[in-house]
Amino acid sequence: MSMKFFIHYGLHFIFPILIAIWYDQKHWLKIYLILLATMLVDLDHLLANPIFDPKRCSINFHPLHTYWAIGIYLLALLHKKTRIIAIGLLLHMITDFIDCKMLLFINP
């Protein structure tokens, strides 16, 4: 398996555990599940043709991965009720952004 695979899925599944524990040790599991649920943002990939293209950068291609959407996620950080969801969505965007940068180095 490639380093890209471990980085991508580590940021999607392992790093959120660390965020959840840091954010609230008492309710970390609930927070972790919310962070995992934010991966549903990838449902916008179903609108693309092909649905999955390993050489495509998701950022600013899929509707929920646009700069406008990311701006809304940033604003959601300001409200306590939406903060955890915003953190999950922004972590997802950061992970996808890292993927985009790795595409440049792997497939120049």
DSSP 8-state code for residue 79: S
Give DSSP secondary structure letters for 45-75.
GGGSSSS--TT---TTTSGGGSHHHHHHHHH
Instruction: For the chain, 108 residues long, give each residue's pLDDT as a single digit of tens.
Output: 578 788 888 899 999 999 999 999 999 999 999 999 999 999 999 999 999 888 899 999 999 999 999 999 999 999 999 999 999 999 999 999 999 988 877 654
Q: How many domains does the chain have?
A: 1
Look at the block and give the residue holding tokens 């609930």: 30
Structural domain for 90, as ranges:
3-106
pTM of the model: 0.91
Strand, coil or helix: 77: coil
What residues contact 61, with CB distance under 8 A and at least 6 apart?
Answer: 48
